[in-house]
Structure 1
């Protein structure tokens, strides 16, 4: 096996990677449909688009893109609905609490880089048990959102680390693109929402089927580096 440099920090996407937020996101967009006398969009249709936030939810439920008339009104309504009930059903994915505890025990830092606006990220963190992150970079923290590398580079800067000493884990192609652009090693999280394409096609450095598998991968890299030192 070729040598894999150990990370000094692991950065995570939020929705679909650490937290299962799709139920509350789906409820927010279906409230828009109910208010308009429309039947709710089935959850199984909405869930794969959850990592794309308002754009994904509105696209799947109303068939509109940000360029379409009426989209912005729906977007603002979606935001208001979600802000009022963002932690009713949202929880950490099974195994995530153990993953974060294992990372801390190994002496690594961890943080969050999400495209979710700070309007939602900041209040959500303590509600779902993620208020101990070393850094949190939201979708509007920098001038660009993922797949641009700026948010990841900002996170590395806040941690005081070179980007190449950080790994980035996410459940969307944009996460892998952003990680590569930032010079970070990337992990595709197969337990997440994953969108319309298979994680095996994203070009990630690693695939992780579960949070436990991701922790095993990280600890193996740390142990190899320790033996080589």
Structure 2
């Protein structure tokens, strides 16, 4: 297997931008909220750059961008109200256009077969995780699932990763964090994990290599054992 997995007993995955491309559905919900306020849509390209710090921050960034021309920034109360509406819109359709990235399903299956524990640590609210994981048949792949509101602190703080290590009984020095952003790399380093970054995800428009992860891949398929092929449905 890939050198990043040498002596690894636990792999912690980020979700958005790592296992799934959720930006289209996130953008639909963001644009619905903006439309309710008579503001122009943000569109999926901007939303890709705003994802990574939880849905409240996503909505705050969208409102800030949409109201910049008016010179009247959104208040904290405005953001809270808009976020509440976002949760309703996104909760109604969290995976209509979301796709599983190439190699994601196969890698999780391979790790499970190899006896390597997997955990999911995301800043997305935990309530959205079951329908998304069920949609892609990943509900039984994770020994531990941590959402952005599961603990008091979320990534880039190391607590969610350390929680996953504690729950699985695996030492951080035998754990690998796989993510797409500087927040994932920072959380992994702070937790004492090895880190691996994927280049295709959401990192606020910055090259993820700049965060100095231990390993970088262009697709999760690169982590599959040499010679293993992807199934025809991989997207």
TM-score, scaled relative to structure 2: 0.83
RMSD: 2.4
Structure 2: tracts of 5 or more residues without a match: 66-72, 229-235
2:132 to 124, 131, 134: 124
1:33-84 per-residue CA deviation (whole Å, 9 max, x = no partner) reads 2222333222211122223332453244321699745111111111111111
- TM-score in terms of structure 1 length: 0.85
Rounded to whole Å, the distance in 2 between the matches of 1:57 and 1:145 is: 15
Q: What corresponds to 2:51 in structure 1?
A: 50
In 2, Cα distance between equivalents of 1:73 and 1:39: 18
User: Partner residue of 1:103?
Assistant: 111
Is the Cα–Cα contact under 8 Å of residues 55 and 66 in structure 1 kept in the other structure? Answer: no
**Which sits farther off after the overlay, 120-129 or 10-19?**
120-129
Q: Distance in 2 between matches of 1:196 and 1:101?
A: 31
* 2:152 counterpart SS class: coil
Between 1:87-96 and 1:117-126, the stretch displaced more is 117-126
Greater mean deviation of Cα atoms: 36-45 or 157-166:
36-45
CA contact (8 A) 1:25 1:86 kept: yes
Distance change in 2, residues 1:190/1:104 (3 Å)? same
Counterpart check, 1:192 vs 2:193? no
Separation in 2 of the partners of 1:30 and 1:127?
23
Alpha-carbon separation, structure 2, partners of 1:127 and 1:67 = 36
SS in 2 for 1:52: coil
Aligned length: 217
Q: Which runs of 5+ in 1 are unaligned?
A: 220-229
Shift of 1:19: 1.2
CA distance in 1: counterparts of 2:76 and 2:188, whole angstroms: 30
Quick one: distance in 1 between partners of 2:108 and 2:74?
35
Q: Which residue of 2 aligns with 1:91?
A: 99
